Amino acid sequence: MSKQLDAVTFGEPMAMFYANEAGPLHEVFSFSKALAGAESNVATGLSRLNHPTGYVTKLGEDNFGTFIAQAMKNENINTDNITFTKEYSTGMLIKSKVVTGDPKVEYFRKNSAASTLSLEDFDEAYFNSAGHLHVTSISAALSKSCHEFSIHAMEFMKSKGKTISLDPNLRPSLWPDTETMVSTINDLAPRCDWFLPGLGEGKILTGLSTPEEIADYYLERGVSLVVIKLGPEGAYYKSSAGEGYVDGFKVEQVVDTVGAGDGFAVGVISAMLEKLPIAEAVKRGNAIGALAVMSPGDMDGLPTREELAKFMQQEV
């Protein structure tokens, strides 16, 4: 039996090679290797804030799989429910280095081991050992079996009275078309308690334009709390208890925007698990999101308790 966890997540972790020099990827010869994936970013962030977190996935019996499992253990992420297969390989990606704007990311994940995650891999005891479930729509996009796993995990955790967060994490390239992406995510959303879209994502998913309208759309469908990321301006939140805007933190220099939304999720989830007021949870989300964009790797900026406190105190 696994030890008690504050949170659990599932998805596809990947080996990432990020360029050490700016320029088109085909012209770059020097790369550094790191763990990547939206859910693994969140698991890492929660773990660094002393929230025991588990990760569920399938990896190939290859060097990338070994690297990922070890990298997670190094972050004190519980890997008891990670399985290995000889039949499929572990996914990977390469990411460019940019001076301004978003980096170019190229994935090598088709028919990966993680995409074969299915209901047969669902361990009730393991999920039940966690108090919270974090989900992204990326998993549902990977395959029919991963989509089924996502719905089952959310319904199981809901039936056990656990809390569930959903970050839409739109990845249009993983879906057959926009319509399928929108309908699938809007089917998942009412199954969660805390929905965490960016403003642009909310507009795509609802066809509405303001944070207030987007929040109401999901609150009317059963979500308890909607927090909408507004980039440098901060975030907007709304629940039955109230609503408000929370200012963002000052960023000296944007180094890499990838992982900012995951950092935001870490802040909100960790604070909600600690029963902090919603406005404080959103403020922490803004802080970790700011730290994330000031760092090169996807999770380099995810802070420890001490680093988070120091950064938030500087802004007072």
63 with 87: CB under 8 angstroms? no
Active-site annotation, residues = 262
DSSP helix/strand/coil, 61: coil
**Which among 74, 76, 122, 71 is positioned nearest to 92, based on CA atoms?**
71
- Ramachandran area for residue 259 (φ above 0: left; ψ -120 to 50: alpha; else beta): left
223 with 265: CB under 8 angstroms? no
Lookup: tokens for 184: 């699938």
137 with 168: CB under 8 angstroms? yes
217 with 206: CB under 8 angstroms? yes
Lookup: tokens for 48: 């660094």
CA–CA gap between residue 204 and residue 222 (Å, rounded): 20
